[in-house]
């Protein structure tokens, strides 16, 4: 709040400033000490602003200074909110890191040995990356990416790489997604289809649900005449454990609209992709 007390050459008289400061001090103290538990900081700032304007008697330079001060207080509040979000995120990271230390110890490892010193932290960060889709929504990425277009032929994007985690074993499954849709006056930037795949695959998943979520998201966003999503993936929980089938691939598909109702359209898609 230093700016309230800054004198400037040719500004208001000392007596005037002293009166202003005396009037505003209780409110300023509420803000700086945060003692007013019943008012939001916005509310206090509004009161401060009103009071300042009243007390200033039209003394513009001081009012300007005060409003600048209020703006900086608001940006400080934003900064504070951002800092508390960052603190919560880093707290989560510490918890996951501790959990990985426990896992390593319970597996019989010596967590103090050189190679493992930073492993829990690295693993925690990697797991947060593998599940970053929880932080993103389809609305966020499709903002401004849907265009009006009189195209009513099938649009196919094939071989979109995907990496996900099986929710039963927390082990990767990965492969390719193929997407097709027939626009109904609305088209989307093609890279956005890959982003939709990314949002849903970077979560704990089963392949069937992943396929459906991608198809439904496209259907809701574009309201196309039809949409089809096919995913072919290898599951490490099948390859590295259990039945240990090295080359087994799981194929899932979801067809909506004309792809579901018209066998000819469905066949056209299958010819284009497989």
Catalytic residues: 166-169, 207, 235, 237
Shortest Cβ 172–Zn ion spacing (Å):
9
Pick between residue 195 and residue 209 the one whose CB is nearest to Zn ion: 209
Shortest Cβ 161–Zn ion spacing (Å):
19
Shortest Cβ 38–Zn ion spacing (Å):
52
Pick between residue 158 and residue 169 the one whose CB is nearest to Zn ion: 169
Give the residue among 207, 218, 209, 213 at the shortest CA–CA distance from 249. 207
Told to check if 166 binds Zn ion by CB under 5 A, we report yes
CA dihedral (267, 153, 260, 222) positive or negative: positive
Distance CA 241, CA 243 (A): 6
Beta-carbon contacts of 20 under 8 Å, excluding residues fewer than 6 positions away, are: 12, 52, 55, 56, 62
Could you say which of 68, 82, 168, 241 contacts Zn ion (CB under 5 A)?
Answer: 168
Pick between residue 138 and residue 162 the one whose CB is nearest to Zn ion: 162
Pick between residue 219 and residue 250 the one whose CB is nearest to Zn ion: 250
- Please, which of residues 101-160 interact with Zn ion by CB under 5 A? none
Length of the chain equals 274
Distance CA 121, CA 115 (A): 12
Pick between residue 121 and residue 236 the one whose CB is nearest to Zn ion: 236
Distance CA 61, CA 9 (A): 11
Write out the two tokens for 42: 């916005």
Distance CA 253, CA 256 (A): 10
Pick between residue 117 and residue 240 the one whose CB is nearest to Zn ion: 240
Told to check if 233 binds Zn ion by CB under 5 A, we report no
Shortest Cβ 248–Zn ion spacing (Å):
12
Told to check if 188 binds Zn ion by CB under 5 A, we report no
Told to check if 237 binds Zn ion by CB under 5 A, we report yes
Stretch that binds Zn ion, among 10-18, 37-45, 57-65, 164-172 (CB under 5 A): 164-172
Stretch that binds Zn ion, among 57-65, 182-190, 220-228, 231-239 (CB under 5 A): 231-239
Stretch that binds Zn ion, among 50-58, 166-174, 178-186, 214-222 (CB under 5 A): 166-174
Give the residue among 216, 209, 219 at the shortest CA–CA distance from 252. 209
Distance CA 243, CA 111 (A): 32
Within 13 Å of residue 47, how many CA atoms lie on the same side as its CB?
15
Distance CA 196, CA 137 (A): 9
Told to check if 169 binds Zn ion by CB under 5 A, we report yes
Distance CA 235, CA 208 (A): 13
Told to check if 93 binds Zn ion by CB under 5 A, we report no
Told to check if 234 binds Zn ion by CB under 5 A, we report no
Q: Which residue has the tokens 């198809």?
A: 215
Return residues touching Zn ion (CB under 5 A).
166, 168-169, 237
């Amino acid at each position: 709040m230093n700016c309230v007390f800054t004198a400037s050459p040719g500004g208001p008289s000392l007596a005037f400033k002293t009166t202003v400061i005396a009037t505003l001090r209780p409110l300023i103290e509420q803000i700086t000490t945060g003692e007013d538990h019943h008012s939001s900081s916005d509310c206090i700032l509004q009161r401060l602003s009103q009071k300042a304007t009243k007390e200033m008697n039209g003394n513009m330079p001081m009012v300007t200074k005060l409003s600048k001060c209020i703006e900086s207080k608001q940006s400080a509040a934003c900064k504070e909110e951002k800092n508390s979000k960052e603190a919560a995120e880093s707290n989560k990271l510490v918890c996951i890191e501790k959990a990985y230390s426990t896992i390593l110890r319970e597996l019989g490892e010596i967590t103090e040995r050189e190679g493992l010193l930073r492993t829990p932290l690295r693993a925690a960060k990697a797991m947060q990356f593998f599940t970053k889709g929880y932080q993103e929504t389809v609305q966020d990425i499709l903002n401004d990416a849907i265009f009006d277009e009189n195209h009513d032929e099938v649009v196919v994007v094939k071989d979109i790489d995907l990496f996900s985690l099986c929710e039963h074993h927390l082990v990767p499954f990965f492969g390719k997604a193929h997407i097709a849709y027939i626009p109904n006056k609305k088209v989307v930037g093609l890279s956005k289809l890959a982003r939709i795949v990314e949002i849903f695959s970077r979560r704990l998943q089963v392949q069937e649900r992943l396929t459906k979520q991608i198809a439904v998201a496209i259907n809701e966003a574009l309201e196309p005449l039809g949409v089809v999503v096919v995913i072919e993936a290898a599951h490490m929980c099948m390859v590295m454990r259990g039945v240990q089938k090295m080359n087994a691939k799981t194929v899932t598909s979801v067809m909506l609209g004309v792809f579901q109702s018209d066998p000819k359209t469905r066949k056209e898609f299958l010819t284009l992709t497989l």
